[in-house]
A and B are shown apart, each in its own frame.
Chain A
Amino acid sequence: MRSIRRELTRRVITRVLPLIILGSVLSYVLVRAAVYREFDNALRHEMQVLSTAAERIGDGMDFDFAPELAPGGPIETGLDYYFDARLSDGSLLKQTPMLKGAKLDMQGTRVGVMALGPVVLPNGRVGRGCEYTFEPRKVEAAAHAGAVVRPFAPPGPVRIVIAASTSDLERPLAALALTELLVGTGVLCATVLALLSSVRRGLAPLSELAQEVTAIQPANLSARVTETGRPNELRPIASRLNALLARLEAAFTREKRFASNAAHELRTPVAEVRAIAEVGSGAQPEEMRRALREIASVASEMQGTISTLLTIARAGSGLLSVSASQVDLGTYLSELCTRRQAGPLAPRLECLVEPGLLIETDLAAIASVLGNLLDNALAYTPAHGRVKVSAVATPLGAEVCVRNHVTDLSETDLTNIFEPFWRKRGTPVAGSHSGLGLSLVRALCEVLNAQIRAELLPGPELALYLALPRSLSGAVANLPAGAVSTKSPQHQSAPRSESEQS
C-alpha cells in the first residue's frame, strides 16, 4: 500500500542526497583550485624574481641569484623546490644544485610567455612547474661589478623553468576531502532524521483526519469530522466529508423511514387478513361470509397499494410513457370538484378556476395528479377546515394550487410529505389512506415535465402548487427560493404503462 509519508521521504531524500554530495565535491574542487591557484601565483612570483636575476653583460651572461638564500625560498619554506636556467642553445646557465646538471623539462613557450603546468620532479614526485622564455636585461660591462657566470654566451632568449613538489598541498587537501566526506555523511544523516521528523509532524493533521474518518462506523452516520483547527488544506476535505456524511445520514434516515412506513402499510393489511381468517374460521356461515367479504376488500386495497407503488417505480425509472392531448384544465378541475362535492366533505371545498385553461398533457396522468392532490387535501383537512382549489394561466402554461387547513404540519415535514407512506404521526385522517398519493403526484410530475412544490401558509394551511407546461415538452417557471420542490433536474420521457391509481 502506498504511503504519502514514505513517498515524501523517499522523494526528498533522492533529491537532497545528490545535492549534498554535489555540494561537498564542488566545495572540495573549489578549495583545491584556490590552493593550486595560490601555488601557481607563488611560482609565477618566483619566476618574476628569477627572471630579473638574468643579465646580459657584453657577450656574457650573468645570473645573480642564490635560491637557497632567497626569502620564502626552499630552505625557508622547506619546499621540494628546483629551478633550471638555460641559454638559447640549451646550455646551462644556472640551476639548483639538487638537479646535478639534469634538465627540468616542460613543453616550451614562446618568448615573453609564462606557462604553468604539471611536472615530474627529478625525485619522481609530482609537482607544478613554471616556464618562462625571455630576453634578459642588458647591463653595461662598466656598470657591472664582479664576475660573470658565462663570459661568453650565445645571443638569444633565456629559458627558466622552476618546479616545486605539491605533495605538501595534497596532504591538507586529502584531509579536507576526508573532513568533507565525514561532515557530508553527518549532514546527510541529520537531514534524513530531520526530514523524517518534519514529514511526520507535517503529515500529522492528515493522520489525525484519517484516524477520525476510520473511527466512523457504518452504524453511526451521525458522527462528524472536526473542522475547526484543521490546516487550510484539509478544511475543505473535512467540510466536504461532513456534507457527504450528512447527506448519507439523511438518505439512510429516509430509507429507514420508508422501510418502517412500508412495513406498517403492508403488514397491517396482511395482519387484517390473517386475523379475520383465523377469527372467522370457526364462526357461523353468515359471519364467515362477512369475513370473506372483508378479506376481499383488504385484498383489493392491497392491490391498489401495490399498483400505485409500481406506477411510482415505473415513473421513477422512466418506464411510463405519456401521450399528449388537449386538456381543458379549468373545466376538468371544476368537474372534479363537483364530483368530490357530492360527498360528505362538500361544504369545505371551494373551487376557483379560470375558464379556457388549455394545456397539452397526458389526460390519464394529469387526472391522477389532480385527483390525488384533491383527495389528499380533503382527507387531511380537520373538521371545520377548508379546501381551496384554484387554477390560473401562467406565461409558460398553468398553475394549479390546492390549499387546505392543517393541524400540526411543520416546515420540516414539507421535506417528507412527498415520500412514500409518509404520514405525520398522530394526524387524524378521513377514510383509508396508504400515504402514497403525494408520492404518486411527484412521480407523475416527473413524467409530465411539471413541478410540484409545497408551502406552509399562515392559518396554518398547506399549499401545493402544481406548475404545468403549456405542452409536454415545454418548460415551467423556476421555483421561488426556499420552496420545497420535487422537480428533478433532468426529465425523461417514458413509455406508456397502465392507468394510474389515485
Chain B
Amino acid sequence: MRVLVVEDSSRLRDAVQTGLQRHGFAVDVTGDGRQGLISARTTEYDVIILDIMLPEMDGLELLTQARSNDVDAMVLLLTARDSVEDRVKGLQAGADDYLVKPFAFDELVARVQALARRRHGARTTTIRVDDLEVDTGTKRVRRGGIDVTLKPREYAILEYLAHRVNRPVTRDELEEHVYDEDSQVRSNAIDSAVCNLRARLNVASCRPIIHTRRGLGYVLSEQGV
C-alpha cells in the first residue's frame, strides 16, 4: 500500500514515514500543501495522511482541489484542530477519517490500514484465497494452516494482489503501490519479488496461487481463473 504524508513538521513527518514503512507501507512525504497536491494528482496513493495547517496551501484546500481532480485516495486528516466544527469541515471537504494530534502511533497505523481496506472494498482484515490466508491487521500469512514468513516487500505485493483477487495487476501498478519515491527500483524488481513470493508460498502447498497473465501482469486466484 502506498501512502502520502503531507505534514509541515519535519520531525513528525519523518517519524510517521519510518513507522509506516516498518508496517510495510510505501511512504512518500512532503512538507507543503502545493507539493502535496502535485504528488496526490500524479501518483495513485491508497491513503493520504494530511495536516491542515500547511505552508503554501492549507490541507483543506489541498483536499478540495484533489477531490475536484478525481483523486480517489482515502484521506486521513491528521491535525491539532480538535473542535467538532473542524472535524465536520474536514470530513465535508472530502476526508475519510480524522485523527487529532497527539496520537498513538498504533492507532494511526490501524486507521491507515482500515482506510486501505475500505479503499479495496474489504471489510475484514483476513483475506482468504483457496488455502491462503492473509491477515492485513497482523501482517500474518498462512497457507494450508502453516505460517509463511515473508519479507516486507513480498508481503506488500501479496497484500496488494490479495485485495484484487482474480483481477490481473500490472507490474507498473505493483511498482506504484509497493515502492515509494525513495526506493531504487530495478527493472526486474517486481518479477524477482514475485518469484521469491511464489517460492515461499509453495513451500506450504504445491498448488500455484499467483499466476502470470501474459501482457496483463499477475493474478492471485485459486485456479488461475
Contacts and interface: CB of A to CB of B under 8 A. Distances in A.
A426 B19 contact: no
A255 interface: no
A327 interface: no
Contacts of B104: 274, 278
Contacts of B22: 279, 282
B58 interface: yes
Interface string B47-84: 00000011111100100000000000000000111110
A276 interface: yes
Interface in A94-152: none
Contact of A428 (B18, B56, B101, B103): B56
B64 to A, nearest CB: 13
B214 interface: no
Interface in A241-282: 260, 263-268, 270-276, 278-280, 282
B79 A275 contact: no
Contacts of A171: none
B123 interface: no
B81 A264 contact: yes
Contact of B82 (A263, A275, A276, A280): A263
Contact of B9 (A260, A272, A427): A272
Contact of A426 (B9, B55, B105, B106): B55
A429 interface: yes
Contacts of A272: 9, 11-12, 15
Interface in B74-102: 79-83, 86, 100-102
B16 interface: yes
Nearest to A283: B18
A425 interface: yes
Q: What band does the interface of chain A fall in when counting residues whose beta carbon is under 8 Å from B? A: 20 to 34
A298 interface: yes
A279 B105 contact: yes
B105 A263 contact: no
Contacts of A282: 22
Contact of B53 (A264, A266, A274, A276): A264
B11 A298 contact: yes
A271 B102 contact: yes
A455 interface: no
Contacts of B103: 271, 274-275
B28 interface: no
Nearest to B52: A264
A271 B56 contact: no
A294 interface: yes
B172 to A, nearest CB: 31
Contact of A260 (B19, B81, B102, B106): B81
Contacts of A275: 11-12, 15-16, 19, 102-103, 105
Q: Which DSSP category, helix, strand, loop or mixed, fits chain A's interface?
A: helix
A266 B9 CA distance: 12
A206 to B, nearest CB: 36
Contact of B32 (A279, A291, A428): A428
Contact of B101 (A260, A267, A279): A267
Given A275-B12, A276-B11, A427 B55 contact: yes
Contacts of A425: 53, 58
A279 B108 CA distance: 12
Contacts of B18: 279, 283
Nearest to B99: A271
Contacts of A274: 102-105
B80 A263 contact: yes
B24 interface: no
A276 B15 CA distance: 5
Contacts of A297: 11
A267 B80 contact: yes
Contact of A264 (B61, B80, B105, B106): B80
A102 to B, nearest CB: 109
A268 B80 contact: yes
B19 A279 contact: yes
Interface in B174-216: none
Interface in A418-472: 423, 425-429
A264 B55 contact: no
User: Taking each of B11, B79, B103, which has the highest tally of chain A beta carbons within 10 Å of its own beta carbon?
Assistant: B11
A406 B101 CA distance: 30
Given A264-B81, A268-B12, A278-B19, A426 B61 contact: yes
Contact of A268 (B9, B16, B58): B9
A291 B57 CA distance: 29
A432 B55 CA distance: 12
User: Taking each of A264, A267, A426, A427, which has the highest tally of chain B beta carbons within 10 Å of its own beta carbon?
Assistant: A426
Contacts of A294: 11
A187 to B, nearest CB: 63
A263 B12 contact: no
B54 A270 contact: no
B11 A428 contact: no
Nearest to B105: A278
Contact of A271 (B33, B54, B80, B81): B80
B79 A264 contact: yes
A270 B80 CA distance: 10
Contacts of A276: 11-12, 15
User: Taking each of A270, A276, A283, which has the highest tally of chain B beta carbons within 10 Å of its own beta carbon?
Assistant: A276
Contact of B81 (A263, A291, A423): A263
17 contacts: A263-B81, A264-B53, A268-B9, A271-B9, A272-B9, A272-B11, A272-B12, A274-B102, A275-B102, A275-B105, A276-B11, A276-B15, A278-B19, A278-B104, A278-B106, A294-B11, A298-B11
Report, nearest first, the 4 A-B pairs whose CB atoms are least far apart. A271-B101, A267-B80, A271-B102, A275-B15
